[in-house]
Structure 1
């Protein structure tokens, strides 16, 4: 189908309503080609609203039906990728939200031959809409590879509240429009550490320096997790470190050895939150990655970092940090595929364990406050006198 005809059909579908429309603000039949998916039955509903639209005379909405803030729902459509292969596609819509306790945003996903490995994905989680926000046009931009099979797009809301969209557009754009892909690769600064010329190179994937996700300073891709003792993926699918420690994937379960301790963890994802539970060594592990906070527990150690939504970070990242006044006392950035609804399990687990369960001071932070010096001699830097705690 011609692109313009397809675009017109999509816009017409969103504007269509059933016969016997209800008064302004009332629910009507869903537009043709759109449907609702949710984390649990009867938690969300979608419909067509004729009141207070952003653009045009009708808008579609997604509304929570319960007070349970742990669920999520999407108002979405699926269409074939054949018309967009090899092109850059922008999905945009006028969007507004009301009383959203959680987050909301547009999302788009490009499917390939393996549904477990999306080719491109963005759900605006790193620039999510929260609370009450008026009409504004938002967009998601993804490259559609030649092997793409289908494209999914729509509106997602986690938690409670209501979100509307109208003025839906699907446009092919040129390379001057940047992608918002959470899985997009980007260059990595080469290591400045010394390397021995006598050391034989450890076999790594061809895309060694192309990350698809990052947690803290640890980035990963399909073949490598760049910890201080890197893990690489062998042809048999086993991840092995330079110390010959091995990590195995069994669906959502990850087993093996990390840091000379046995690992037995399960990664539960698929919604706005990712949970990692199990054991590392003899101690229980419980990790939560959500739009609101990052919680990492291992035995008696706990790191709980709220998300700083005002932080100036890459658009594919969430910054979680703890501050004491102007001083940051703990900080972790979670980026790219680590935020997706289907994160790569082995890479995610290794990257999380590598970040540790104790607070990490970020670089260029304010110095740790010290007790005031009460010696005049301590100010005499020309003579290099440090002085004692002698009162002036």
Structure 2
């Protein structure tokens, strides 16, 4: 069957089975070739819906059945890759969502001889759909290598809510259409200016050592976070430290282990501010980055810094400071992709946690004065001392 016939068959199957479906919840007939997979049984339900389609007369719907925000479900299909080997394939559809707490998006995966090692993959995690959104056409684009055996595609939802899918298309496209492959080496992105969470990033040349963004002294790109315990990104998208701690990125959610503490955060961006909230080590985390201030809270620790608009810093950075009179008592620079409307969630979280929630003096600054010494023993540098500093 050639490509056009396959496409027509898929669309006709979707419309025909939708027209004959009965409103009986999970027992509704699904379009031929489509099915539901989920992280645990009875958490998600797929059906057909004719109430408000984006295109045509019917939509397929994926809906959460529980309030558990940790699960995921996908409405998907799988087919042989033989017709698309050596080609660039675009999967597109019209999608709308309602009350999605977590994230949703289209996804496509190209499998080879080993299903555990996908050849190409994208689930829109860098442009996840959250909340309630009206009809819009989205797409994922992947190259299909000659060794490909199967292609899987559909819509995924993590957490709770409902998503609708229609107008499904599979198109072979030429090289002028960029791939969205998360397993490929994407171009490095830098910020267009310091004032901006409102400005879109600018694409620059790819270089493994070229920073994509920076928080304090911790820089990152698409494959590395250069903190004191560096993290690197594996081919499967998992970030792994030199201590073998793993951090996972699921759309706006960042989970895993950092500093031997369990991590469960969400990165909410896309407007004039970026908000990160959740828990780390059982303590509540709340971080706010805006063009005016930076606030970092974890349990009882708080850093609250105002942006210094007069600071002479690199053009892609915002400098945030706290002062006690003329003295700077805390300082942190947020640069590049870390302060754009689309920061990479995992890298941003790792970089912020690596800087910590306690005030940090800027380099080459005088220490904050302490209380006066009230005894001779406090100045004794001959007993129990370390480099001339009393170890009381």
What is the TM-score of this pair, normalised by structure 2?
A: 0.59
2:266 corresponds to 1:286: no
- Separation in structure 2 between the aligned mates of residue 20 and residue 297 of structure 1, nearest angstrom: 46
CA, structure 1 residues 39+273, in 2 after alignment: closer, same or farther (shift >3 Å)? farther
SS at match of 2:245: strand
SS at match of 1:146: coil
Identify the residue that residue 245 of structure 2 maps to in structure 1.
265
Deviation digits for residues 254-288 of structure 1 (CA, Å, limit 9, x no counterpart)? 78xx5xxxx3535567897453237x5xxx33334
Query: Residue 72 of structure 1 contacts residue 158 of structure 1 at CA under 8 Å; is this kept in 2?
Result: yes
- Separation in structure 2 between the aligned mates of residue 116 and residue 127 of structure 1, nearest angstrom: 24
Identify the residue that residue 149 of structure 1 maps to in structure 2.
149
- Separation in structure 1 between the aligned mates of residue 231 and residue 65 of structure 2, nearest angstrom: 46
2:334 corresponds to 1:358: no
* Aligned-residue offset at 1:93: 0.8
* Aligned-residue offset at 1:153: 0.7
Query: Residue 218 of structure 1 contacts residue 226 of structure 1 at CA under 8 Å; is this kept in 2?
Result: yes
Query: Residue 253 of structure 1 contacts residue 264 of structure 1 at CA under 8 Å; is this kept in 2?
Result: no
Query: Residue 24 of structure 1 contacts residue 51 of structure 1 at CA under 8 Å; is this kept in 2?
Result: no
CA, structure 1 residues 149+306, in 2 after alignment: closer, same or farther (shift >3 Å)? farther
CA, structure 1 residues 154+254, in 2 after alignment: closer, same or farther (shift >3 Å)? closer
Identify the residue that residue 17 of structure 2 maps to in structure 1.
17
Deviation digits for residues 174-204 of structure 1 (CA, Å, limit 9, x no counterpart)? 1121222222324569xxxxxxxxxxxxxxx
Q: Which runs of 5+ in 2 are unaligned?
A: 190-205, 269-274, 291-303, 310-317, 321-331, 360-392
Identify the residue that residue 78 of structure 2 maps to in structure 1.
78
SS at match of 1:169: strand
CA, structure 1 residues 296+56, in 2 after alignment: closer, same or farther (shift >3 Å)? closer
CA, structure 1 residues 110+290, in 2 after alignment: closer, same or farther (shift >3 Å)? farther
SS at match of 2:83: coil
CA, structure 1 residues 31+300, in 2 after alignment: closer, same or farther (shift >3 Å)? closer
Identify the residue that residue 48 of structure 1 maps to in structure 2.
48
* Aligned-residue offset at 1:150: 1.5
- Separation in structure 2 between the aligned mates of residue 15 and residue 307 of structure 1, nearest angstrom: 46
Identify the residue that residue 277 of structure 1 maps to in structure 2.
257
**Total equivalences in the alignment:** 292
Query: Residue 90 of structure 1 contacts residue 170 of structure 1 at CA under 8 Å; is this kept in 2?
Result: yes
Identify the residue that residue 377 of structure 1 maps to in structure 2.
none
CA, structure 1 residues 306+113, in 2 after alignment: closer, same or farther (shift >3 Å)? farther
Identify the residue that residue 63 of structure 2 maps to in structure 1.
63
Pairing 1:224-373 to 2, within 5 Å after superposition: 225=224, 227=226, 258=242, 263=243, 265=245, 273-277=253-257, 284-288=260-264, 290=266, 292=268, 304-305=286-287, 333=338, 352=350, 356-358=354-356
CA, structure 1 residues 277+115, in 2 after alignment: closer, same or farther (shift >3 Å)? same
Identify the residue that residue 166 of structure 1 maps to in structure 2.
166
What is the TM-score of this pair, normalised by structure 1?
A: 0.59
Query: Residue 98 of structure 1 contacts residue 162 of structure 1 at CA under 8 Å; is this kept in 2?
Result: yes
CA, structure 1 residues 43+302, in 2 after alignment: closer, same or farther (shift >3 Å)? closer
